[in-house]
């Protein structure tokens, strides 16, 4: 267990991404922007229409910090027209975020319900040293609060560390760290997960096959996340690693600590993003000053790059490749970033005629959400599925609550147009609904169902 715990230590990093919602596009209302935008702003000031509203929820640590970079983009003269398009694209972006969050939750819930490994208590992480097996309620509460304090301080320390690294331009170190943690996630956790799933369904698999499968999965994952790859594949990988991380959390966090940690994380998120001295905010501002893209592997981007309707497909293609190349060069900018794409295509576009530019505007801008957000949403729903005795009702209630919280956060993003934490509202709703459904609704529904009465 010790080694595993150590591993999870480094695993924490990718999970600690800030859940920043970044709007790749300025017009769409629910766009959250990440730091990338600032990078782009530098590039094509005249053409950039992006708003940088990033919502970030600095969830966890280090890696998360990177994702917090929000990039406020300067808008060009087309801003007014963009405003009107905002709400039109608004709903679409919300859905673009709904789908991956839903998928992640479904994966987590399905695994929790079927694979018993993840609900067995086999020890705790090194971050939560206090056990919860104490006889008295007060002692248990105290232990969970202490666990939470330790966990949150670990997260804060890592976040600050990452911000410092970023400030002093130790990019290589950050990249190495990110690569190491994603490597660990992709290989080790997948191996454990696959092993457990195969055990549950009693499917035999020999080691060479297993090795081949995991090797392929991991290698493709590394390439997809850190370099270039098809958008959908990258999204799928990010969802999978978020789900894996959430499963680890569900398994290794003791009961009450998990709930208190969830609450504390959302408060921390709120503070870290909105307070002027908050680490995430500093990260965003620094990134904006430098006009740099965000680190990869920490942000989920829902952006799509369309070349439909482009007057000059060759220039667009060139722009895109140039962009992805620039992105890779920047050290991991997510090539799927819509804004990076836009900025890239725009930067050589200053010499382009306006027509192609206008057609470019039809491209979908995406919204970015930090991976930490995914993880904590899934932890909440997974814990609801694992521990609630009302089973599916509670899970469903938490699911709806989280989605509504996400909607509201996106709405706020549209209104405020700057980085916002995505955790607090959703987690608050989720927690409220979990506890109330478990304790209040469940007896009611059970009684109704036993008499087969309907309301």
Partner 1 sequence: PALGLFLFTIARDPLRIIILIAGAFFWLVSLLLSSLIWFIAVKASDPQDETLQKGLLIFGIMFSVLLQEAFRFLYYKLLRKAIEGLVALSEDGCSPISIQQTAYVAGMGFGLMSGAFSMINLLADALGPGTVGIHGDSQLYFLTSAFMTMVLIFLHTFWGILFFHGCEHQRWWEITAVIIMHLAVSGSTFCNPLYMGSLVPSYLLMATAATWAYLLSGGSAQNLRRFLLCK
Interface residues with partner 1 (CB under 8 A) are 83-88, 91-92, 94-95, 98, 390-393, 396-397, 400-401, 403-404, 407, 433, 436-437, 439-441, 443-445, 447-449, 451-455
CB of 85 to partner 1, least distance (A): 8
Query: Which CB, 416 or 444, lies closer to partner 1?
Result: 444
CB of 329 to partner 1, least distance (A): 35
Nearby residues of 440 by Cβ (< 8 Å), 6 or more positions away = none
CB 100 within 8 Å of CB 377: no
Cβ partners under 8 Å of residue 103, min gap 6: 239
Closest CB to partner 1 among residues 27, 296: 27
Active site residue 269: yes
CB 60 within 8 A of CB 155: yes
Kind plus residue range of the DSSP H or E element containing 19: strand 18-23
Cβ distance to partner 1 smaller for residue 218 or 366: 366
Minimum CB distance to partner 1, residue 103 (Å): 15
The DSSP 8-state label assigned to residue 227 in this structure reads S
CA count, 13 A, side-chain hemisphere, 62: 24
Nearer to partner 1, 137 or 453 (CB): 453
- Cβ proximity to partner 1: between 96 and 152 the closer is 96
Question: Which candidate in 68, 339, 373, 438 is catalytic?
Answer: 373
Q: How far is the CB of 394 from partner 1 (least distance, A)?
A: 10
> CB of 276: closest distance to partner 1 in angstroms?
31
CB 430 within 8 A of CB 397: no
Look at residue 31 and give its three-state secondary structure.
coil
Q: Closest CB to partner 1 among 335 and 430?
A: 430
Query: Could you tell me which of 182, 191, 293, 173 has the C-alpha nearest to residue 234?
Result: 182
Q: Return the C-alpha torsion angle 437, 440, 444, 447, nearest 10.
A: 100
Reported residue count of the chain is: 455
Q: Output the smallest distance, CB 409 to partner 1, in A.
A: 13
Distance of CA 68 to the CA centre of its chain: 10
Strand, coil or helix: 132: coil
Structure tokens at 253: 């966090």
The tokens 């999978």 sit on which residue? Answer: 240
Q: Which two tokens mark 207?
A: 């080691």
Distance (Å, rounded) from C-alpha 172 to C-alpha 292? Answer: 15
The catalytic residue among 269, 326, 339, 438 is 269
As annotated, the active-site residues are 269, 373
């Amino acid at each position: 267990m010790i080694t595993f715990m150590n591993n999870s230590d480094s695993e924490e990093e990718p999970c600690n991404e800030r859940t920043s919602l970044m709007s790749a596009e300025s017009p769409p209302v629910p766009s959250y922007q990440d730091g990338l935008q600032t990078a782009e702003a530098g590039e094509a000031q005249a053409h950039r229409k992006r708003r940088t509203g990033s919502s970030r929820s600095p969830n966890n640590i280090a890696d998360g910090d990177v994702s917090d970079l929000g990039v406020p983009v300067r808008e060009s003269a087309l801003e007014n027209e963009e405003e009107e398009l905002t709400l039109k694209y608004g709903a679409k972006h919300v859905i673009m975020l709904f789908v991956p969050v839903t998928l992640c939750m479904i994966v987590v819930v399905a695994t929790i319900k079927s694979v018993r490994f993840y609900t067995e208590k086999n020890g705790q992480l090194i971050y939560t040293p206090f056990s919860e097996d104490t006889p008295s309620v007060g002692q248990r509460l105290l232990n969970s609060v202490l666990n939470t304090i330790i966990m949150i301080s670990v997260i804060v320390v890592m976040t600050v560390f990452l911000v410092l690294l970023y400030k002093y331009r130790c990019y290589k170190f950050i990249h190495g760290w990110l690569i190491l943690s994603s490597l660990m996630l992709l290989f080790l956790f997948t191996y454990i997960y696959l092993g457990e799933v195969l055990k549950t369904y009693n499917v035999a698999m020999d080691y060479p096959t297993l090795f081949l499968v995991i090797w392929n999965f991991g290698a493709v994952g590394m390439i997809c996340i850190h370099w270039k790859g098809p958008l959908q594949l990258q999204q799928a990988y990010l969802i999978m690693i978020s789900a894996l991380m959430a499963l680890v959390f569900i398994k290794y966090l003791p009961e009450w600590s998990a709930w208190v940690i969830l609450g504390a994380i959302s408060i921390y998120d709120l503070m870290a993003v909105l307070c002027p001295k908050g680490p995430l905010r500093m990260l965003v501002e620094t990134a904006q000053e430098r006009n740099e893209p965000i680190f990869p592997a920490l942000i989920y981007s829902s952006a799509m790059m369309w070349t439909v309707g482009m007057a000059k497909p060759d220039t667009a293609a060139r722009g895109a490749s140039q962009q992805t190349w620039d992105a890779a060069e920047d050290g991991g900018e997510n090539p799927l970033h819509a804004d990076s794409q836009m900025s890239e295509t725009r930067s050589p576009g200053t010499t382009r005629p306006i027509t192609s530019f206008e057609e470019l505007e039809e491209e979908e801008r995406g919204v970015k959400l930090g991976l930490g957000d995914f993880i904590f949403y899934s932890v909440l729903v997974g814990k609801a599925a694992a521990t609630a005795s009302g089973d599916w009702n509670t899970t469903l209630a938490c699911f709806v609550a989280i989605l509504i919280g996400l909607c509201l956060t996106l709405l706020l993003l549209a209104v405020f147009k700057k980085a916002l934490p995505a955790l607090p509202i959703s987690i608050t709703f989720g927690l409220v609904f979990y506890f109330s459904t478990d304790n209040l609704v469940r007896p009611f529904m059970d009684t109704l169902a036993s008499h087969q009465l309907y309301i």
